[in-house]
Structure 1
Amino acid sequence: MSYASASRATSEFRPKTAAETGRLSGRTLFLAIPGRRAFLWVVVFSIVINLLLLILPFYSIQVFDRVITSGSVETLIALTILTVVALGFSTCFEVLRNRLLGCFAVGFEQFLAPLVLKASITDPARRGEAGTHDMVRVRELRNTLASATVCTLIDAPFLPVFIAVLYLIHPWYGTIALVGALLLLLLAIASGRVARSEAAQATGAAIRAQRTLDGIVRHANLVRAMGWTHGAIREFVQLNDHALAPVVKANGRVALIASVARMIRIGLQVAAVGAGAWLVLQNEVLVGSMMASSIIISRTLAPMEHLVASLRMLNSARDAWDHIRGATAAALMDQRRTLLPTPLGALDVSSVTFRNQNAKRPALTGVSFRCPAASVVVIIGPTGAGKSTLLRLIAALDKPSMGTIRLDGASLDNWDPDQLGRFVGYLPQDVELLGGTVAEAIAGFDERATDEDVVAAASQANAHDMILALPSGYETEIGRDGSKLSGGQRQRIGLARALFGKRKLILLDEPNSNLDPDGEEALCTAIRQAKARGTTLVIVTHRPRLFTVADFILFLRDGVAVAFGSPAEVLPQTMAGATPMRSPRPPANDKARPATIEGRL
């Protein structure tokens, strides 16, 4: 299966990352990138290339000051051969430098992309669009590293060396080059400020335009059905124009600055030739030095001119690097956790409170309950009571603001995320199916998945016959997010995915919302079979059919646990005005046991 193959490829990264993260504290992200020694060779080759470029002014001096005056053809041939050989070596080193930069850029992305993806999966703040934008920034950095701009940056520190050589030829040449370098530096600073000002204005508008575009494309059917096509296009065009306006304005200014920089460089070369001619007439220098100085000044100012034009790209790359460092910090510092024994499924939720950053009140407040292994807990309550939020906390998708959630006595924070995921099955309210075939949607990225496991999970979910009725059975393409399936089919396949493997805790959010009576009966059968295999199930529902399979019912209202106990105890209270139950903190050494109502109602 393609997902399994992809998972095997990425799994090779995990051991290396786990082994390296413990040694990365106190070191920069750049030093952690494999293949960085190739970048050191790039610097070495740059030194050699810049030194070999001095052969051209040396050749000019020798030809004009020695060969022409002496008339020695042998000397001319020898100097020409030496220069051609030196330029050949320079070209070879430049080719090697560019190849090394390309390899380093590829290694850069290969190292960072899995870290960014890991952060996008594990860090709630970076899930979804934030993680997608982070991956775009990684590719932007890779393109920048492989571009000629990096070579220009590496060559820039050699500018003082060339200016010193010019001063040795004659102070006027050195002064002309120094003045030109300072002028171009001022232009580079101005170009950088223009670029940063444009980025500050355009970034937010570009993100809004991209979000709108993603929403329109993702919900194209809804847009078409509601007659919103022209309105959606108009909205995107307006947002896109807002994003492009500062870019166009900044591009014009940067182009103007770059043109001025080019004019200054050419003007300084003319000034160097004119000054050289005057010095020759005054018998202060020879003709060869005039030609040599012109070549060196051109070589000195060319990187500065290129930096003026490319500073916008460099500013964008620096911002991308800052984002990537923030995105990968948690992934780099994540320590490998000790693998715990296979859990039985005993669940202990103790005084859990959860508050969203922008919410006025907590979504959950002091929720507590316990259930033993191989039991079924059904969570009920009005809309907005916090049922789905509690399920996400139990799935370790979010962390409680206060309180703890334990599986077999171990806090979820103490479990290795990948190991915990192998024992927890989760079906969200909005069924999220990975693209590909039905079989791949059930197996996900489990590299150990077999066809027998996929069919077994589908059979446990009573979805096997439904899948066989599809055009290509288990090989049927389901489309993006399961768009080619009906709501009920997506829910049955999502349930099969939740049951896939040796799950000890299964979390189902409204698993029967799209099911007909026959589908609900099949779901109840699947729940009973899972319980018989020793699996604990926590189910959110609004429909009473699942009460018949419940061992315990948790009633939530306004984020508070109003009642918890057997269906016979709790259901009558849901019809009456029940007050929130008191939730004393359980003893630290208390073992998971059959839950009872904690406090009187």
Structure 2
Amino acid sequence: MLGCLLILCRLHERKLTSDAALAGLPLVDGILTPSVFHRAARRAGLTSRVSDHQLSDINASLLPAVLLLNNNSACVVTSLNQEQNTARVIWPDLADAEVTVSLDTITQQYSGSLIYAQPEFHFDERASGGSFRARGHWFWSVIKQNRALYRDIIFAAVMINLLAVTMPLFVMNVYDRVVPNHATHTLWVLAAGVFVVLCADLGLRLMRGWFVDMGANRADIRLSAAIMEQILSMRLSERPASAGSFASNVQSFESIRSFIGSVTLVALVDLPFIFLFCAIIALINWLLVIPIIIGALAVLIYAVIAQRRMQRLSEKMMQASAMRNATLVECLSNLETIKVTGAASKMQGTWESTVLFLSKLTARMRLLASSVSNGAIWTQHVVAVSLIILGVYLIREGQLTQGGLIAAYLLSSRAMGPVGHAASLLSQYHHAVAAMNTLNRIMASPTERPEGRHRLNRPILRGEIEFRQVSFSYPNAEKQALNDISFKINAGEHVAILGRNGSGKSTVERLILGLYEPDAGTILIDGVDIRQLDPAELRRGMGYVPQDVSLFYGTLRDNLVMGISQVDDARIVHATNQSGLADFVDTHPSGFDMQVGERGELLSGGQRQSVAIARALIKESPILLLDEPTGSLDQRNEQQIKHSLQHSSHGRTLVLVTHRSALLSLVDRIIVVDNGQLVANGPKEEVLEALRQGKIGSAA
């Protein structure tokens, strides 16, 4: 599928690399599947759709297209000739070679499905002042895709409300015509008709509920995937200060899902039919409509007054819930530190005060919501009583029959029902609106792959790195982490970056990885501005060992090959031997299938660091970035890793950040930074001698 996508991009003159296409997508065993194909194609500006057609029914004007074949294979068909019984096909295994094959051969392998893909029309900045978004809103565009379902829901609601008139009319005719005349035959005919209507009503209600849930589930799958993709592609500069609070904001999507998936949402569709029921009641006697109008207006006026207070409470509840979740995540992440430092009392107090405040808000919100819903029920009963009282007087005056009164009573409950349901939706509505506003901010945050931007394809990096007058400061930081730094590292050169804590050493490596963009200046990789390269393709060419190693829940093998597809066991074993992890793995009963726990808590700090080193070496990338790679290792393992790096780093660019003098034998040049400024840059022996003599001072 990936090969077919790249072929389509070439035929449509769209730029896309394999790393950019697959980055962040849910692959199956590292393979692109048809269900995810449209998301990869969208990154190249292609819109795609899976269709089921016979070869003879394929629309030739929509070619080229991807044919899905048996045995999980695929090819690209560029043209069909039904008269000559041939097709022009490009097989991914043959690169760009286009061959002619018979339709009979293709038919034997064809699965019956194909993927059409065509370029989307691109609006430039001149259209609508540059503010037009071709793909629409992240939420409403997905809802729009299910408009056929919502059309069926509206149709079912219309039919249900029309059929709702049947029962009141049946009762009215029984009381006014059947009972006085003892017309039992008419009674059975009317009853049979009503039974058919009731069965149709039951079927329509079941179908409507099924369609509502189906639409919500379809939207949920697409929207949840879009939210997670946005989070994973978010720039680190946009990363929230609190992971727990951010997670709570993301989980607020459940409020939106419950709102669009709730059957009570159908009450909004039922609302216009109040006029239908009132019109029928008016035909019976127009005076009976007055209590319904007064009751409906009273419920709606009170709901509008209450909704302003609900809106403020919903916003505060969102903030308090985020704070509570942030406290919980922080406690779980630092449970050992809390116990050692005796901070349990403080964290418990913070938790209880937050929960107390949130419970008060929740109680007030429920009180308001219940006052609206219960007030609507009370009003409905008052309207019914008023209608009966008024009806008795009308019957006494001869202006209304008993059957007409009963029918009007039944229709009044049908008329007031949607009003009460719509009013009770206000509490859910404000929760959903608050969640939508929060998620809108998340979905609008800048990502590493802006829409409509095509990166330069550099499949192989040589390893040359250059900083030109680079300045950078972290978000919300009061001072710059780097200030006007310039240096160049040639391909294959081994360089150490030294400096005091907080001097900017680790920041240099993060900028090389493209995790942040410089505020000023330029970073070049192989002479190309790093902002022209796709982040996934850039990082594929770099092996990185961070200072603080965090592993993911799963097996040791999963953590070693994370982000790398199709790694053979020989590379894994070789990397573990180089990182000093082999002895531990060989003596463990589960070997590479051992569980490492969340954040690697089942391993020691040194073992986690060895895993990070092995993970960097498995990639066999041309650039190695090491940030205190032996900070948690003992002397024996440090010597082993130093010896391994002397061989494995040969021919690669090595950037080493360390405080260990023993590792300086790996490098030929030293760069010294202090307070974000470059204070020394030269051969290792000269810089070390200058440091010993105190000739290199701190930055002013």
Amino acid at match of 2:678: A
Q: Which has the higher contact order (CA 8 A, sep 6+)?
A: 1
Name the one with the larger helix percent.
Answer: 1
Go from structure 1 to structure 2 and tell me whether the alpha carbon gap of 1:249 and 1:131 turns closer, same or farther (over 3 Å shift).
closer
Structure 2 length-normalised TM: 0.76
Aligned length: 578
On the 8 A contact 1:367/1:560 being kept in 2, the answer is yes
After superposition, where does 1:9-24 map in structure 2 within 5 Å? 12=33, 15-20=37-42, 22=45
On the 8 A contact 2:176/2:401 being kept in 1, the answer is yes
Go from structure 1 to structure 2 and tell me whether the alpha carbon gap of 1:91 and 1:471 turns closer, same or farther (over 3 Å shift).
same
2:471 is paired with a residue whose SS is strand
- Of residues 625, 639, 651 in structure 2, which corresponds to 1:507? 625
RMSD: 2.8
Matched, 1:258 2:373: yes
Go from structure 1 to structure 2 and tell me whether the alpha carbon gap of 1:472 and 1:65 turns closer, same or farther (over 3 Å shift).
same
- Of residues 552, 557, 565 in structure 1, which corresponds to 2:674? 557
Q: Distance in 2 between matches of 1:269 and 1:579?
A: 90
Name the one with the larger strand percent.
Answer: 2
- Of residues 132, 148, 167 in structure 1, which corresponds to 2:247? 132
Amino acid at match of 2:548: D
Go from structure 1 to structure 2 and tell me whether the alpha carbon gap of 1:492 and 1:262 turns closer, same or farther (over 3 Å shift).
same
Amino acid at match of 2:164: L
2:524 matched to which residue of 1? 406
On the 8 A contact 1:336/1:416 being kept in 2, the answer is no
1:283 matched to which residue of 2? 398
Q: Distance in 2 between matches of 1:447 and 1:192?
A: 53
Q: Distance in 2 between matches of 1:324 and 1:415?
A: 29
2:652 matched to which residue of 1? 535
2:280 matched to which residue of 1? 165
2:611 matched to which residue of 1? 493
Amino acid at match of 2:223: L
How far apart are 1:431 and its partner, in Å?
0.3
Amino acid at match of 1:507: L
Q: Distance in 1 between matches of 2:534 and 2:36?
A: 13
1:584 matched to which residue of 2? none
- Of residues 551, 574, 580 in structure 2, which corresponds to 1:433? 551
CA-to-partner distance for each residue in 1:107-141, whole Å, 9 max, x for gaps? 22211222211222221324644652343123332
2:403 is paired with a residue whose SS is helix
Amino acid at match of 2:671: L
1:217 is paired with a residue whose SS is helix
Matched, 1:378 2:496: yes
On the 8 A contact 2:575/2:618 being kept in 1, the answer is yes
- Of residues 665, 678, 688 in structure 2, which corresponds to 1:548? 665
1:419 matched to which residue of 2? 537
Go from structure 1 to structure 2 and tell me whether the alpha carbon gap of 1:359 and 1:6 turns closer, same or farther (over 3 Å shift).
closer
Identity among equivalent positions (%) equals: 26
2:205 matched to which residue of 1? 94
How far apart are 1:6 and its partner, in Å?
6.2
CA-to-partner distance for each residue in 1:193-236, whole Å, 9 max, x for gaps? 23222223333333222212111122222223334444433332
After superposition, where does 1:462-501 map in structure 2 within 5 Å? 462-501=580-619
On the 8 A contact 2:469/2:485 being kept in 1, the answer is yes
How far apart are 1:40 and its partner, in Å?
2.6
Amino acid at match of 2:149: A
Amino acid at match of 1:249: R
Go from structure 1 to structure 2 and tell me whether the alpha carbon gap of 1:72 and 1:212 turns closer, same or farther (over 3 Å shift).
same
Q: Distance in 1 between matches of 2:250 and 2:565?
A: 24
Q: Distance in 2 between matches of 1:574 and 1:66?
A: 111
Q: Distance in 2 between matches of 1:454 and 1:185?
A: 68
Q: Distance in 1 between matches of 2:629 and 2:644?
A: 11
On the 8 A contact 2:265/2:425 being kept in 1, the answer is no
Structure 1 length-normalised TM: 0.88
After superposition, where does 1:204-353 map in structure 2 within 5 Å? 204-329=319-444, 334-335=451-452, 337-338=454-455, 339-353=457-471
2:311 matched to which residue of 1? 196
Q: Distance in 1 between matches of 2:685 and 2:297?
A: 85
1:57 matched to which residue of 2? 168
How far apart are 1:86 and its partner, in Å?
1.6
Decide which moves more: 73-82 or 123-132.
123-132
On the 8 A contact 2:554/2:597 being kept in 1, the answer is yes
How far apart are 1:577 and its partner, in Å?
5.2
Q: Distance in 2 between matches of 1:446 and 1:152?
A: 51
2:544 is paired with a residue whose SS is strand
Go from structure 1 to structure 2 and tell me whether the alpha carbon gap of 1:538 and 1:164 turns closer, same or farther (over 3 Å shift).
farther
Matched, 1:28 2:48: no
Q: Distance in 2 between matches of 1:423 and 1:131?
A: 31
On the 8 A contact 1:141/1:317 being kept in 2, the answer is yes
1:538 is paired with a residue whose SS is strand
2:182 matched to which residue of 1? 71
Q: Distance in 1 between matches of 2:207 and 2:690?
A: 78
- Give structure 1 stretches of 5+ with no counterpart: 582-600
Q: Distance in 2 between matches of 1:305 and 1:343?
A: 66
Q: Distance in 2 between matches of 1:312 and 1:515?
A: 56
Amino acid at match of 2:260: L
- Give structure 2 stretches of 5+ with no counterpart: 1-23, 46-119, 121-132
1:285 is paired with a residue whose SS is coil
2:649 is paired with a residue whose SS is helix
Go from structure 1 to structure 2 and tell me whether the alpha carbon gap of 1:363 and 1:86 turns closer, same or farther (over 3 Å shift).
same
- Runs of 4+, deviation exceeding 6 Å: none
Q: Distance in 2 between matches of 1:470 and 1:82?
A: 76
1:508 is paired with a residue whose SS is strand
CA-to-partner distance for each residue in 1:435-471, whole Å, 9 max, x for gaps? 1111111112445344444334323434223322334
On the 8 A contact 2:314/2:434 being kept in 1, the answer is no
Q: Distance in 2 between matches of 1:231 and 1:453?
A: 49
